[in-house]
């Protein structure tokens, strides 16, 4: 797919004076989703925009998995991985910024997604949902992306790379009723129970949004020292499973919501003991009063 290109000044040809990603973002409608292997469409694009940089959508769409090695830290991490697992055989690209891209084949059936630093410090992975700027694109610095050995076909991803690039297995959530019953007493129990119940009963089409909102609200209480993060996480994942959301989608949403909420710590206003007691979920599983 064609990308906008950097001008001699280093600015992006897209014309946005504050462009934060010059020469690296798509210039066609639908962005990276427009990537194709249709040669006729590709020829039309570059006939129209001969200066365009080249973008490749990684993952199953292209069959490519790309390891992005950034700077001295990334190179040292790559050497350490090589000492432990053997050198990474790949089709290598020197990037315009002075880093390295290692192209290998995306293994069939492996849900490898983008990750930052999961392999090692300074090493990112571009997989499903990702993209990469490819040769002979020009970087904003003026340098070009170039193949270390032109014509080399990307080899299969080694087993050790696949193993390290895959996300850790998700621990199955405990049943919602069990989790909420054992949260404890007081405000924390009521807060977690109310948010979990709202997620579990959310109508179709609103469930992921409601899960994100619940995670954000509980994240505030985590940062305020009111709620334990792992207890909140498990309760929300159990509620999401009850609502019918997939585990993959739920884990990402809960993680994002909890993280965002923790940027705005919140603590409950002091309440009379009788009110606090009335909001707690008792061992019999009775409904909470709403959190104010």
**Lookup: tokens for 217:** 């609200």
Query: Residue 69 CA to chain centroid, in angstroms?
Result: 18
pTM greater than 0.85 (yes/no) = no
Task: Kindly report, residue by residue over 197-254, the tens digit of the pLDDT.
Answer: 899 888 888 889 999 999 999 999 888 888 888 888 888 998 888 888 887 788 889 9
Q: How far apart are CA 247 and CA 178, in angstroms?
A: 18
Q: What is the CA angle 128-232-211, rounded to 5?
A: 55
Q: How far apart are CA 84 and CA 31, in angstroms?
A: 38
CA distances from 256 to 86, 211, 229, 230 (A): 35, 10, 13, 14
H/E stretch holding 249 reads: helix 247-261
Domain spans, the chain? 2-165, 176-279
Task: Kindly report, residue by residue over 67-84, the tens digit of the pLDDT.
Answer: 999 989 999 999 999 999
Beta strands in 51-171 (DSSP E): 53-57, 64-69, 91-94, 100-105, 115-120, 123-126, 131-134, 146-147
Task: Identify whether the C-beta of residue 17 lies closer than 8 Å to the C-beta of residue 11.
Answer: yes
Task: Kindly report, residue by residue over 21-34, the tens digit of the pLDDT.
Answer: 899 999 988 888 88
Domain at 2-165: CATH architecture: 2-Layer Sandwich (3.30)
């Amino acid at each position: 797919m064609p990308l906008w290109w950097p001008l001699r000044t280093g600015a992006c040809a897209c014309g946005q004076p504050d462009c934060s990603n010059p020469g690296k973002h798509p210039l066609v409608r639908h962005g990276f989703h427009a990537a194709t292997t249709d040669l006729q469409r590709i020829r039309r694009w570059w006939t129209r925009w001969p200066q365009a940089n080249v973008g490749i959508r990684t993952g199953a769409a292209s069959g490519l998995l790309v390891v992005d090695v950034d700077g001295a830290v990334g190179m040292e991490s790559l050497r350490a991985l090589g000492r432990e697992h053997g050198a990474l055989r790949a089709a290598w690209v020197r990037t315009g910024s002075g880093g390295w891209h290692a192209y290998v084949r995306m293994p069939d059936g492996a849900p490898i997604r983008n990750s930052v630093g999961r392999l090692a410090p300074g090493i990112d992975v571009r997989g499903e949902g990702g993209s990469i700027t490819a040769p002979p694109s020009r970087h904003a610095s003026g340098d070009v992306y170039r193949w270390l050995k032109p014509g080399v076909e990307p080899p299969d991803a080694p087993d050790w790379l696949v193993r390290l690039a895959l996300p850790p297995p998700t621990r199955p959530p405990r049943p919602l009723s069990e989790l909420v019953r054992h949260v404890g007493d007081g405000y924390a129990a009521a807060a977690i129970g109310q948010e979990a119940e709202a997620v579990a009963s959310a109508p179709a089409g609103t469930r992921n949004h409601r899960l994100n909102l619940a995670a954000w609200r509980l994240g505030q209480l985590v940062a305020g020292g009111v709620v334990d993060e792992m207890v909140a996480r498990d309760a929300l994942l159990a509620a999401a499973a009850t609502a019918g959301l997939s585990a993959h989608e739920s884990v990402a949403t809960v993680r994002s919501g909890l993280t965002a909420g923790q940027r705005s710590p919140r603590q409950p206003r002091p309440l009379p003991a009788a009110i606090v007691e009335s909001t707690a979920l008792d061992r019999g599983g009775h409904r909470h009063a709403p959190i104010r």
